[in-house]
Amino acid sequence: MEQRKVLIASGNLLQAHTWKGMLEASGIEVELRGEALMGGVGELPVDAQSVQLWVFSGQAEQAQLALAALDVEQPQWQCVQCHEFNHASFELCWQCSAERSESHNG
């Protein structure tokens, strides 16, 4: 059995879910634990709840680095057609639907 440890705790369930998704995108398995997750699905207050992100001990260091990297602003790319800024997850410009074009190294 692998040991798990708390990576970080958040008072914001949405934030916790965001982190979880981003960490999992980095190949890090994350488990959310907390009181906020125990109740029914009904009215879920998204704040004033304590949610913890648990990761395997073996991935904790990697997870912390990933989390540190997430503290910076979301990477954006600028459309070459209309110069609009787009979120990194968009493959097409939201404004003019031009394809994302940026230089990739390698």
Q: Which residues bind Zn ion (CB under 5 A)?
A: 79, 81-82, 84, 93, 95-96, 98
Q: How far apart are CA 13 and CA 46, in angstroms?
A: 5
> Would you say 59 and 31 are in contact if contact means Cβ atoms under 8 Å apart?
no
- Kindly state the smallest distance separating residue 56's Cβ from Zn ion, in Å: 41
30 versus 79: smaller Cβ distance to Zn ion: 79
- Kindly state the smallest distance separating residue 94's Cβ from Zn ion, in Å: 8
16 versus 93: smaller Cβ distance to Zn ion: 93
- Kindly state the smallest distance separating residue 92's Cβ from Zn ion, in Å: 8
Q: How far apart are CA 75 and CA 70, in angstroms?
A: 10
58 versus 85: smaller Cβ distance to Zn ion: 85
- Kindly state the smallest distance separating residue 25's Cβ from Zn ion, in Å: 25
50 versus 86: smaller Cβ distance to Zn ion: 86
